[in-house]
Structure 1
Amino acid sequence: MHLADIAQLTPRTVRFDQNRLTIEDIVDIAHGRANAALSDDPAFRAAIQRGADFLDRLLREDGTIYGVTTGYGDSCTVNVPLDLVPDLPHHLYTYHGVGLGEYFTPAQTRAILASRLASLSKGYSGVSVELLLQITRLLDAGLLPLIPSEGSVGASGDLTPLSYLAAVLCGEREVWRDGAQVPAAQALREAGIAPLRLRPKEGLAIMNGTAVMTALACLAYARAEYLTKLSTRITAMASFAMDGNAHHFDEVLFAAKPHGGMQQVAAWLRGDLPTSQWERNGKRLQDRYSIRCAPHVIGVLADAMPMFRTMIENELNSANDNPLIDADNERVLHGGHFYGGHIAFAMDGMKNAVANLADLLDRQMALLVDSRYNHGLPANLSGAKGERAPINHGLKALQISASAWTAEALKATMPASVFSRSTECHNQDKVSMGTIAARDCLRVLDLTEQVVAALLITVRQGVWLRRQVSPELQAHAALAAMQDALAADIKPVEEDRRLEPDLRLMLERIRAQAWDLYA
């Protein structure tokens, strides 16, 4: 094995301190490409400890601190006797153990732990260094809290799902370990990890934040970024298969409409498609919109991605619990940084733009399989010939399924953020719904990737057939390489066959981001 290959297999280390992290840091931790390590810089650790020490002093002086010497939420008017203060964090995560729905996947859970660690490391949460180290121990040992995905309104942060992290840190509830569910107490004991006894405010610090929605948003961003490029490459292959007009992506034409992301998509298409072969008899002057306007559709997502990145990374690098502890100036700051409005907006916007990719590709597929519009290719792109041709139906059913997945993706684009509910005795009377928006976005990404998988089979078949119908057409190098890569996975459909295995393989390739696209 080459050293370069070994380097790729060796996870890098992401250091958690008060410096800025990126989406890629969280995604790499989620997928095992990076390890999480708490900075051992003495100045950083001292800054964390100052917050915990300041809280201790306030308690000794009988100070009133929300969530430390008071009840939670609307119960902030209830004073907690000092002898009961140590029990309060346990009650917080205990009564929030009400999650339902599917459990977050191991990758999503690693991202959640990393996202919460990032926020607590900013030094405004009044927690101990030991708490931060305990989160890194869970990640190192592969002990991932079993977290139900449903039950958060996104303010006061992700209380219910993060209660499962708090409980596991203390040796309660269950964890994933090597794909199996194990009681947390047993898993910690066998890993040599002592359960925590949470200090005052530490339960609130863990739970009262936007870690779940932010983690999911990081994962969604990485997938959407790849789909921007893959949808462009599919569009190029669809245009080539239909013998389309590459001049639709002319540089001067796109200079007249200065959306940078859209212009980039058009440039990618120009690099993929030969224009010299376009001037031939019988060519359609203007391709239909799903080809001609593809840069305008894909470009909306491409242009929105930098804004989404800024929103997600700002949230990732924020202290987002309540209250914040300003140890240097000895103040307790009560606010609402747990409100996930920016993530909600980013996820609502992203799922809309991604669903439009599904819609675009579904329309391209409808053209490709229809002999009235595909410029001389067989109906349903069937590769069957001779006497067996009448009983073969090619990609007819695949087009139906792609349309179903597209419809479901489009249906899921209703913005979650407009469905705020007043909860918790009208204390949480305006909430973000950011976690629901993020979960919706991931579902739209799932469905869109399924449409993309269908289109990869379709354009592979379409290009294969075009080379038979129009052998004079020659694909540019990048398009030819993509066709060769697809051909290694997908046999031509010459006789009807079950395509589910091909679809599932394509989904694996998509989610592994297996193809290098547009450096």
Structure 2
Amino acid sequence: MVLLNGQTLTFDEVKRVLFDGDKVGFSDESRKKVEKSRQAVEKIVAEERIVYGITTGFGKFSDVYIDKDNVEKLQLNLIRSHACGIGQPFPEVVSRAMLLLRANALLKGFSGVRPVVIERLLDLVNAHIHPVVPEQGSLGASGDLAPLSHLALALIGEGEVFYKGQKVPTLTALTKEGIFPITLTAKEGLALINGTQAMTAMGVVAYLEAEKLAYQSEVIASVTIEGLRGIIDAFDEDIHLARGYKEQVDVAARIRDHLADSELITRQGELRVQDAYSIRCIPQVHGATWQTLNYVKEKLEIEMNAATDNPLIFNDGEKVLSGGNFHGQPIAFAMDFLAIAMAELANISERRIERLVNPQLNDLPPFLSPEPGLQSGAMIMQYAAASLVSENKTLAHPASVDSIPSSANQEDHVSMGTIGSRHAYQVITNTRRVLSIETICGMQAAEIRGVEKMASATRHFLNEGREIAPTISEDRVFSKDIEAINTWLKEKTSTVGKIKKNEMHSKTR
């Protein structure tokens, strides 16, 4: 079981909850903090103090006083009116992540909710009941208001949820699992929706897929290097130590490890003096992507354990402060950077595909065709890769540089971080398909060169890949192969020959 405390949630724990189905609970110490914070809210209501979101309206209505007889109705109205999400729902795993992350944030004890609210969030996680949350409609400041309102609907028995592979009314799923909806009281509706958990949840899922894909891209590139009889000298450790970027050094080390016993790689001057940049500069380009991934991971780990509510309650209610921790700018930047970094993995992969299929750039059969002319082989696969790369260029336009005022100009600068996170995920999805095409072309080229001459690691990868997409012996509907390899890469739990980040050669220590 993963025990939350609002402070120390890690990526490993998130992975266990999202993908391994681990149960979730929270610590007794956290419960005490939550109870103290709740007592402060109840005191504010009893004393009829004017505090934003507890005894006032929201946004531009922050100057409208709400008497204590209407605090429950205020919270219910908030959730219903703000549930304005539109478009397709977030992937179910993202909805699951939202529940987990919102519960963790509330456990910090700054939000003033009752423990039962957190218990109900975790009841949904543990019962695999995931709210249907539309993807579009958040500005990424004032919190992810629209998406999180759809999340909050599930706690009060409204809206729809994913349950056992079906989209059903929330009450249907709650009844089957013996879970009772709750009535939100003072501040609880606001505490549920004033946060960055939609963009952060989408970002966490995107990052986890991006990290795995970045490792896989190095194995795939290694197969391509063999197919093109690439020059291994470009990956010599001394070159990369001379520049000094750890991530670049690491990528070169992993490529050398993947190709350690290959008979297909060459030395400089043996066939040619230098390879093209898409081969020679793999450590520099992929390494720069890893630098970005490390930055993104750092920001997400902070945000997973952040208090993003407003107002925040300190010193047992002696200090209640309105601020802007709900503003998604840090994650908006991180998501834009992630999209750009992953788009570059697709860019360089597509150029390697071109080198594999273009007879003017290699000595392989034109377009890797088994019968050039009569059969087109991989010709249009390169077209498809080029299309995805071009689409990524539009998706990588930063969302974070945009802003539009809302709530009658009270909320006059917003992050658009949720848009950035969605675009980053789409870029990652496109990039995986580009790498799937490189996998198909690289395997074909390596087979032409001789599977028996491949390195042990890349040969193992090829053998696994051939179970998914057979060799190209004649033209067929390659769309099916691309999708099959894409699914294999997405679901694959390990990366062949992967070196852990801290496994460096002696010179790097």
| TM-score using structure 2 length | 0.94
Contact 1:152 1:160 in 2 (8 A): yes
Q: Is 1:58 matched up with 2:41?
A: no
Q: 2:132 aligns with which of 146, 157, 161?
A: 146
Q: Is 1:169 matched up with 2:155?
A: yes
CA separation of 1:27 and 1:101: change in aligned 2, threshold 3 A: farther
What residue in structure 1 maps to residue 383 of structure 2? 400
Measured in 1, the distance between the counterparts of 2:373 and 2:55 equals: 79
Number of matched pairs: 496
* Secondary structure in structure 1 of the residue aligned to 2:401: helix
Q: Is 1:475 matched up with 2:463?
A: no
* Structure 2 unpaired stretches of 5+: 500-509
Q: 1:320 aligns with which of 297, 304, 308?
A: 308
| CA positional deviation for 1:303 | 1.6
What residue in structure 1 maps to residue 492 of structure 2? 513
What residue in structure 1 maps to residue 412 of structure 2? 429
* Secondary structure in structure 1 of the residue aligned to 2:381: helix
Measured in 2, the distance between the counterparts of 1:429 and 1:29 equals: 37
Measured in 2, the distance between the counterparts of 1:281 and 1:219 equals: 44
Q: Is 1:501 matched up with 2:488?
A: no
What residue in structure 2 maps to residue 288 of structure 1? 276
CA separation of 1:441 and 1:266: change in aligned 2, threshold 3 A: same
| CA positional deviation for 1:31 | 2.3
Q: Is 1:412 matched up with 2:395?
A: yes
Query: More displaced, 224-233 or 408-417?
Result: 224-233
What residue in structure 2 maps to residue 8 of structure 1? none
Q: Is 1:371 matched up with 2:359?
A: yes
Measured in 1, the distance between the counterparts of 2:347 and 2:293 equals: 19
What residue in structure 2 maps to residue 98 of structure 1? 84
What code does the residue aligned with 1:516 have?
A: T
Q: 1:30 aligns with which of 8, 18, 21?
A: 18
What residue in structure 1 maps to residue 507 of structure 2? none
What residue in structure 1 maps to residue 505 of structure 2? none
What residue in structure 2 maps to residue 4 of structure 1? none
What residue in structure 2 maps to residue 3 of structure 1? none
What residue in structure 2 maps to residue 9 of structure 1? none
Contact 2:399 2:419 in 1 (8 A): yes
Measured in 2, the distance between the counterparts of 1:457 and 1:492 equals: 8
Contact 2:131 2:160 in 1 (8 A): yes
Measured in 2, the distance between the counterparts of 1:497 and 1:483 equals: 20
Measured in 1, the distance between the counterparts of 2:317 and 2:118 equals: 23
| CA positional deviation for 1:18 | 3.3
Contact 1:26 1:215 in 2 (8 A): no
* Secondary structure in structure 2 of the residue aligned to 1:457: helix
What residue in structure 2 maps to residue 242 of structure 1? 228
Contact 1:236 1:269 in 2 (8 A): yes
Q: Deviations over 1:290-329 (max 9, x none)?
A: 1111111111111222221111110110110100111436
Query: More displaced, 309-318 or 80-89?
Result: 80-89
Measured in 1, the distance between the counterparts of 2:149 and 2:493 equals: 36
Measured in 1, the distance between the counterparts of 2:369 and 2:356 equals: 11
* Secondary structure in structure 2 of the residue aligned to 1:410: helix
What residue in structure 2 maps to residue 202 of structure 1? 188
Which runs of at least 4 in structure 1 moved beyond 6 Å after TM superposition?
none
Query: More displaced, 450-459 or 274-283?
Result: 274-283
Measured in 2, the distance between the counterparts of 1:31 and 1:272 equals: 28
Contact 2:233 2:268 in 1 (8 A): no
- RMSD value, Cα: 1.7
CA separation of 1:211 and 1:187: change in aligned 2, threshold 3 A: same
Measured in 1, the distance between the counterparts of 2:54 and 2:414 equals: 23
Q: 1:344 aligns with which of 332, 336, 352?
A: 332
Measured in 2, the distance between the counterparts of 1:303 and 1:249 equals: 18
What residue in structure 2 maps to residue 310 of structure 1? 298
Measured in 1, the distance between the counterparts of 2:81 and 2:111 equals: 22
* Secondary structure in structure 2 of the residue aligned to 1:456: helix
CA separation of 1:356 and 1:101: change in aligned 2, threshold 3 A: same
Contact 1:238 1:459 in 2 (8 A): yes
Q: 1:211 aligns with which of 163, 185, 197?
A: 197
Contact 2:82 2:146 in 1 (8 A): yes
Contact 2:223 2:446 in 1 (8 A): yes
Q: Deviations over 1:436-478 (max 9, x none)?
A: 110010010111011011111111111001118xx7xx22221
Contact 1:409 1:444 in 2 (8 A): yes
Measured in 1, the distance between the counterparts of 2:269 and 2:192 equals: 67
The within-5 A match list for 1:103-182 is 103-182=89-168
Measured in 2, the distance between the counterparts of 1:461 and 1:478 equals: 16
| CA positional deviation for 1:280 | 8.6
Measured in 2, the distance between the counterparts of 1:187 and 1:269 equals: 49
* Secondary structure in structure 2 of the residue aligned to 1:390: coil
* Structure 1 unpaired stretches of 5+: 1-12
Measured in 2, the distance between the counterparts of 1:180 and 1:269 equals: 43
